[in-house]
Structure 1
Amino acid sequence: MELHDVWFVLIAVLWTGYFFLEGFDFGVGVLTKLLARDRPEKRVLINTIGPVWDGNEVWLLTAAGATFAAFPEWYATLFSGFYLPLLVILLCLIVRGVAFEYRVKRPEENWQRNWETAIFWTSLIPAFLWGVAFGNIVRGVKIDRELEYVGSVWDLFNPYALLGGLVTLTLFTFHGTVFAALKTVGEIRERARALALRVGLVTAVLAVLFLLWTQIDSGDGKSLVALVVAVAALVVALMANQAGREGWSFALSGVTIVATVAMFFLTLFPNVMPSTLDADWSLTVTNASSSPYTLKIMTWLAAIATPVVLLYQGWTYWVFRKRIGTQHLADAAH
Structure 2
Amino acid sequence: MDLAILWFALVVLCWVLFAVLEGFDFGVGMLAGIVGRDEHERGAAVRTVGPVWDGNEVWLVAAIGVTFAAFPDWYAALLSGLYLPLVLVLLALAARGVALEFRGKVDTAQWRRRCDVALGVSSLVCAAGFGAVIGVATTGLALGPGGAVASGGGAGGALARSLSPLASWPAAAGALLGVLAALLQGAAFLGLRTTGPVRVRARRVALATAGVTAVVVAVLAGVAAPVAAPVALLAVVAGVAAALRREATAFAAASVALLAGVVAAFVAHVPVVLPSTLDPAYSLTIAGAAASPTALQVITIGGVIILPGVIAYQAFSYWVFRRRVASGREVSA
| TM-score bucket (shorter structure) | over 0.9
Q: What number of residue pairs does the alignment pair up? A: 321
2:171 aligned partner: 161
Please give the secondary structure, in 2, of the residue aligned with 1:272: strand
Unaligned runs of 5+ in 1: 216-223
Question: 1:248: Cα distance to partner?
Answer: 0.6
Distance of 1:328 and 1:287 partners within structure 2? 59
Whether 1:178 and 2:188 are equivalent positions in the alignment is yes
Distance of 2:117 and 2:51 partners within structure 1? 20
Please give the secondary structure, in 2, of the residue aligned with 1:287: helix
Distance of 1:8 and 1:94 partners within structure 2? 28
1:249 aligned partner: 250
Please give the secondary structure, in 2, of the residue aligned with 1:309: helix
Q: Counterpart of 1:166 in structure 2: which amino acid?
A: L
Q: Deviations over 1:139-164 (max 9, x none)?
A: 11111113111252123321122011
Compare 197-206 and 276-285 and name the one that shifted more. Answer: 197-206
**1:201-212 to 2 correspondences below 5 Å:** 201-212=211-222
Q: Counterpart of 1:124 in structure 2: which amino acid?
A: L
TM-score by length of 2: 0.92
Question: 1:214: Cα distance to partner?
Answer: 9.1
Whether 1:100 and 2:110 are equivalent positions in the alignment is no
Please say if residues 160 and 210 of structure 1, whose CA atoms lie closer than 8 Å, have aligned partners that are also in contact. no
Distance of 1:101 and 1:186 partners within structure 2? 25
**1:62-77 to 2 correspondences below 5 Å:** 62-77=62-77
TM-score by length of 1: 0.92
Please say if residues 44 and 329 of structure 1, whose CA atoms lie closer than 8 Å, have aligned partners that are also in contact. no
Please say if residues 77 and 149 of structure 1, whose CA atoms lie closer than 8 Å, have aligned partners that are also in contact. yes
**What root-mean-square deviation, in Å, do the aligned CA atoms of Structure 1 and Structure 2 show?**
1.7
Compare 299-308 and 74-83 and name the one that shifted more. Answer: 299-308
2:86 aligned partner: 86
Please say if residues 14 and 62 of structure 2, whose CA atoms lie closer than 8 Å, have aligned partners that are also in contact. yes
Unaligned runs of 5+ in 2: 152-160
Compare 46-55 and 160-169 and name the one that shifted more. Answer: 160-169
Q: Counterpart of 2:23 in structure 1: which amino acid?
A: G
Q: Deviations over 1:191-245 (max 9, x none)?
A: 1101111111111111222332893xxxxxxxx2x44432222222222112110
Q: Deviations over 1:106-148 (max 9, x none)?
A: 1123222211111111100010011110111111111111311
Distance of 2:74 and 2:8 partners within structure 1? 11
Q: Residue 205 of structure 2 is aligned with which of 172, 195, 199? A: 195
Distance of 2:228 and 2:304 partners within structure 1? 30
Please say if residues 227 and 259 of structure 1, whose CA atoms lie closer than 8 Å, have aligned partners that are also in contact. no
Please give the secondary structure, in 2, of the residue aligned with 1:31: helix
Residues 1:292 and 1:329: Cα distance change in structure 2 (over 3 Å): farther
Please give the secondary structure, in 1, of the residue aligned with 2:149: coil
Whether 1:267 and 2:268 are equivalent positions in the alignment is yes
